[in-house]
Amino acid sequence: MEPEDLRVWIERSSRLSAEFERGFETRFGYPPGENRVLAAEGVGSDDLEELAKLGVPIGLLDFYACVREVSLPDLGNGVFVHPARHVVAGLLGALPTRLAGAAEGRIVVFGSDGGGSMFALRPACGSVYRLRGGAFLDGAYEADRQGTAVVARDLREFLDGILRELEGQVLA
């Protein structure tokens, strides 16, 4: 995504998450968590430089140049795009860096949901995967086909899906 597209995405998703939060308690009967999309104001270039050194695809680097974090605990099962520092820690061994089993290849884990699944970008094809029900062994996420579902063709489609889900909740 181009920086201008990301700025528009931040603006729309921030506005929608605030609207979603305002009507949440009336609609669901309990107070919402803190739903927010934070711009990258003041994010250290050290994290971006480290991500670049670790071979993170340009699309994800562009994302982190504009977006610090996405935390939407009340959207569906929850949607979280972790801060760049978390992604760096993951690439240094805290999270899986490759798929094994039904799918093979390098991955960059950049988010999660509220049910324990992780979202990972597969640089070779650009697809975003939801990883669940597998095992994390020696840096690899080992899972069968059910544990490695493609949820978006690329990062843009993944982000557009978050917007559509927010719009659906606000307009419902």
- pLDDT, tens digit (0-9, with 9 covering 90-100), for 49-72: 999 999 999 999 999 999 999 999
| Structural domain span for residue 111 | 3-171
- Residue-wise pLDDT for 64-118, tens only, equals 999 999 999 999 999 999 999 999 999 999 999 999 987 889 999 999 999 999 9
Any idea what the CATH number is for the domain that residue 142 is in?
3.40.1580.10
9 contacts 62 by C-beta, under 8 angstroms: no
As a whole number of angstroms, the distance between CA 94 and CA 1 comes to 27
147 contacts 102 by C-beta, under 8 angstroms: yes
Confidence tier at 145 by pLDDT (50, 70, 90)? confident
* Domains of the chain: total: 1
Residue 43: the pLDDT is 57
pTM recorded for the entire structure: 0.94
